């Protein structure tokens, strides 16, 4: 899996420490690691990233944190009389939410449409845009890889990941999404519990963003992969039998394909190989049960297909960096 570009060597000792720990969007953050939060003076990511562009434009990075699950968040402030800012294919998707100011900032191809608190922008990784920035601004950004955005499509939109991309949208309004972005900003990111709650909120934002701003790729012709009916049959079968042992052979029978062909076609249509998709669904079900039920860990383990509570705890901690009991305690407290 492609990982998000990591902090470069010229960004200071803490960024190098983050790089040493190999924090990336393909790994779940361990909230106990102090390196999850980057010093405000430092800027993560690569040459064309949104972060680097803003740093070069003298915007102030107030806070930055890796959230795990291929997600990162940043809080920015900026004040200028007038300046042009250009984004050139940053390579990652960005959701921007204005928290304060921005009243005279506009995108050049949309003159007369200005920013304001609670207004949102969706910036795809392959987009290019030019902006006139004027006055004071306070905003937050959620950064994520295209793969992470589209992998939700099978479960939430009944679409293939390769069909979907993020729309290029400027100053759209969504009260629920803006409220969640504000709550992310209100959290402490240097606190393990705060990071965990921020991660949960970011996932909710991602779901809303996919539903409202996920669009079909222009001119996309699907080749290979599973038929729509077969993909749905496999998705529903896995969901219904998640508590059981699921093998490639059994899935191949459900799909009426050879194991060899299923393995290749499953990855094309689901964005992950079968074992990784099943593991992801087990973690997602466990997160849901921990949030909304009081079931003992042993029962949650059984419902999610883990051998026992110990196996469940190990896999959950491996994925989220925190034990199931702690995860439940933090979210219940919120």
pLDDT value, residue 149: 87
- Is 280 contained in some domain? no
Structural domain contains residue 267: yes
Average pLDDT, the chain: 86
Buried/exposed code over 23-44 (b: 16+ C-beta within 10 A; e: otherwise): bbbbbbbbbebebbbbeeebbb
For residues 119 and 139, what is the distance between their CA atoms, to the nearest angstrom?
A: 10
Q: Residue 274: its pLDDT value, please? A: 96
By the 10 Å C-beta count (0-12 exposed, 13-18 middle, 19+ buried), 22 is classed as exposed
The reply to whether 1 falls in a domain is: no
**Quick one: CA torsion of 132, 136, 139, 141, rounded to 10 degrees?**
40
136 pLDDT higher than 90: yes
Higher-pLDDT residue of 65 and 333 is 65
Pair 162, 235 in one domain: no
- Cα gap 107→119, rounded to integer Å: 13
Asked whether residue 89 is assigned to any structural domain, the reply reads yes
Nearest 5°: CA angle at 8, between 107 and 50? 10
Given this model, what pLDDT does residue 150 score?
87
Identify whether residues 199 and 328 lie together within a single domain: no
Does any domain span residue 305? yes
Question: 196 and 55, same structural domain?
Answer: yes
pLDDT greater than 60 at residue 38: no
DSSP 8-state class, residue 2 = -
Residues 230 and 208 in one domain: no
Is a pLDDT exceeding 60 seen at residue 235? yes
Q: In this predicted model, which residue has the larger pLDDT, 149 or 80?
A: 80
Range name among 71-80, 98-107, 218-227, 313-322 with the lowest pLDDT average:
218-227
Q: For residue 203, which of 156, 161, 169, 160 has the smallest C-alpha distance?
A: 156
**Does 21 score more than 50 pLDDT?**
no
Say yes or no: 77 and 172 in one domain.
Answer: yes
How far is it, in rounded angstroms, from Cα 193 to Cα 203? 16
Asked whether residue 28 carries a pLDDT value surpassing 70, the answer given is: no
The verdict on 81 and 197 lying in the same domain is yes
Q: pLDDT tens digit string along 269-305? A: 999 999 999 999 999 999 999 999 999 999 999 999 9
Residue 268 confidence class, pLDDT cut points 50, 70, 90: very high
The pLDDT of residue 148 is 84
> What was the pLDDT predicted at 11?
40
- What domain range is 118 assigned to? 9-216
For residue range 70-83, what is the model confidence (pLDDT) as tens digits? 899 999 999 999 99
* Residue 36: predicted pLDDT: 53
| Crossing angle of the two packed helices 309-320 and 297-304, in degrees rounded to 10 | 80
Does the pLDDT of residue 41 top 60, yes or no? no
- CATH number, position 207: 2.60.120.10
Tally of domains in the chain: 3
Q: Mark whether 58 and 172 lie in a shared domain.
A: yes
- In this prediction the pTM is 0.81
């Amino acid at each position: 899996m492609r990982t998000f570009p990591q902090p470069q060597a010229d960004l200071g000792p803490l960024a190098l420490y983050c790089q040493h720990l190999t924090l990336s969007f393909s790994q779940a953050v361990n909230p106990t690691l102090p390196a999850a939060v980057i010093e405000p003076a430092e800027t993560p990511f690569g040459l064309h990233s949104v972060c680097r562009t803003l740093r070069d434009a003298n915007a102030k990075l107030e806070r930055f944190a890796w959230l795990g699950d291929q997600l990162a968040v940043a809080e920015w402030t900026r004040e200028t009389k007038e300046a042009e800012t250009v984004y050139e294919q940053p390579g990652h998707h960005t959701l921007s939410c204005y928290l304060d100011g921005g009243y005279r900032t506009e995108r050049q191809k949309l003159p007369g449409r200005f920013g304001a608190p609670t207004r949102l922008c969706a910036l795809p990784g392959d987009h290019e845009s030019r902006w006139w920035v004027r006055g004071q601004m306070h905003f937050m950004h959620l950064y994520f890889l295209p793969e992470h955005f589209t992998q939700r499509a099978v479960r939430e939109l009944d679409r293939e990941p390769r069909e979907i991309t993020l729309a290029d949208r400027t100053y759209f309004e969504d009260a629920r999404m803006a409220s969640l972005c504000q709550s992310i900003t209100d959290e402490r990111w240097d606190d393990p519990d705060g990071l965990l709650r921020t991660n949960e909120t970011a996932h909710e934002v991602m779901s809303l963003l996919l539903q409202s701003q996920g669009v079909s790729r222009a001119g996309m012709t699907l080749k290979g992969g599973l038929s729509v009916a077969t993909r749905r049959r496999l998705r529903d079968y896995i969901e219904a039998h998640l508590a059981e042992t699921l093998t490639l052979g059994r899935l191949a029978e459900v799909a009426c394909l050879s194991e060899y062909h299923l393995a290749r076609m499953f990855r094309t249509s689901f964005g992950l190989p079968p074992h990784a998709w099943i593991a992801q669904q087990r973690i997602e079900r466990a997160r849901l049960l921990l949030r909304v039920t009081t079931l003992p860990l042993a029962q949650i383990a059984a419902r999610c297909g883990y051998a026992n509570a110990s196996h469940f705890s190990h896999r959950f901690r491996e994925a989220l960096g925190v034990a199931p009991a702690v995860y439940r305690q933090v979210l219940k407290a919120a």
